[in-house]
Amino acid sequence: MTNIKDLAQHCGVAVSTVSRVLNEHPDVSEETRQKVLRAASELHYIPNTSARNLVRTTSDTIALLVKGVNNPFFAKLIKVLEREIAQSGYTLELHQMDTSEDELRIGAQLTNERKLIGILFLGGRFNYSPEELSLIKVPSVFCTYTNSFGTLNAESYSSVAIDDKNAARFAVDTLISRGHRRIAILTDNQDDHSISELRFQGYQDALKRHNIPFDPTLVACTGTFSDMGAIYRATSELIERDRSFTAIFAIADLMAVAAIKALSDHGRRVPEDCSVVAIDGLELSEYLLPTLTTLVQPVEDMGLACANILIELIESRGKHRQVTFETLLREGGSVRRLNE
């Protein structure tokens, strides 16, 4: 493998000169510049990243710390993130965390190996104390969830999200405005300080505003966003437990898919016998039968925002900021007006 020393020798110049050429420093004559460049290409010179990072005491890799990689909503997000990051000359590392508790631990560990210049958190919970957050020593951005529980001040963290509570409220409002009053909810969790809890709160809020009593028997917890079987079973139990509900609010599109199947298997058709509304706006949902009525998250814009905020932080061109995106109701065929 050719290194910078070989180039120097080959050209009859000093290594420092070669380095200057390679790093596009000024103060190097056009003649030597060409000479070095030609040698570099002839000898197939490729810089050694480790050596460079060692002396520069940085790296070029950003870590994506994600819980539930196979969540289809993340797929598009990851696509956008990688593209943006690559375009800015950085590299994306993928790390999976199994529990939300891992996220800070893994983050802190990776940070310390000094091979990271930034972290993107995706799909975890978010109720950190300032002390916990300070374990992360590199710029980071929380994707798809924000500091809705904690006590962090806006100068100390960055996030990109929708207003989950509000979106959930809007989704449930949509059902209520169509005459539904017995509305079940299909959620991952009620109290894990993740978006699940926020959306659950939004559900409760909507009911309260319309003076509809909250009925815990209408809550189906799946404990997962991606395990279709578990979601199906949770819905089935709900159906067997209570036959009075006329609508389901699923906090994610994929949950709605499993729910619709469970309803169908129990002889209840959507939307005739039960309406369904969800949050996500997957492309897929437009191609289901019936098409899903869902609140669309602007996933592309969210990905761009995540990447840009992080890169600005890394290049110290920006300060921490929190971005909240609007969701848009996409009406499909899964909701029906209830006749009195």
Partner DNA sequence: GTAATTACTGGAAACGTTTCCAGTAACGTT
Partner DNA sequence: AACGTTACTGGAAACGTTTCCAGTAATTAC
Residues within the interface to its own copies (CB under 8 A)? 1, 44, 46-51, 53-54, 59, 61, 64, 69-72, 75-76, 78-79, 82-83, 86, 91-96, 112-115, 228-229, 232, 254, 257-258, 260-261, 264, 283-284, 286-289, 291
Compute the chain's Rg from CA coordinates: 26
**The one among 17, 140, 222, 297 contacting DNA by CB under 7 A:** 17
Least gap, CB of 165 to its own copies (angstroms): 28
Q: Which stretch binds DNA (CB under 7 A): 51-59, 100-108, 227-235, 260-268?
A: 51-59
Residue 331 CB contacts under 8 Å (≥ 6 apart), including other chains: 293
Residue 161 CB contacts under 8 Å (≥ 6 apart), including other chains: 142, 143, 144, 145, 146, 195, 302, 322, 323, 324, 325
DSSP one-letter code for 179: T
**The one among 37, 43, 52, 304 contacting DNA by CB under 7 A:** 52
Q: Which stretch binds DNA (CB under 7 A): 25-33, 65-73, 256-264, 316-324?
A: 25-33
21 vs 279 by CB, closer to DNA: 21
34 vs 48 by CB, closer to its own copies: 48
95 vs 178 by CB, closer to its own copies: 95
Instruction: Put the strands of the sheet holding 247-250 in their side by side order.
Output: 219-221, 183-187, 247-250, 275-280, 293-296, 328-330
224 binds, among its own copies, DNA, none (CB under 5 to 8 A by kind): none
Least gap, CB of 151 to its own copies (angstroms): 26
Residue 296's DSSP bridge partners are: 280, 328
Least gap, CB of 114 to DNA (angstroms): 8
Unique residue bearing structure tokens 């909507």: 206
Unique residue bearing structure tokens 């893994």: 106
Site string for DNA, 53-92 (x = CB under 7 A): -xxxx-----------------------------------
CB contact at 8 A, 125 and 131: no
320 binds, among its own copies, DNA, none (CB under 5 to 8 A by kind): none
Q: How far is CA 314 from the centre of its chain?
A: 19
31 vs 131 by CB, closer to DNA: 31
Binding-site size for DNA (CB under 7 A) equals: 31
Alpha carbons 301 and 320: distance in angstroms, whole number:
18
Q: Confirm or reject binding of residue 31 to DNA (CB under 7 A).
A: yes
Alpha carbons 337 and 83: distance in angstroms, whole number:
42
Bond into 290 cis (ω within 30)? yes
61 vs 127 by CB, closer to its own copies: 61
289 vs 340 by CB, closer to its own copies: 289
27 vs 272 by CB, closer to DNA: 27
Alpha carbons 184 and 276: distance in angstroms, whole number:
9
Concatenating the DSSP letter of every residue in 70-89 gives: T-HHHHHHHHHHHHHHHHTT
Binding residues for DNA, per CB under 7 A?
1, 3-5, 12-17, 19-20, 22-23, 26-32, 45-48, 51-52, 54-57
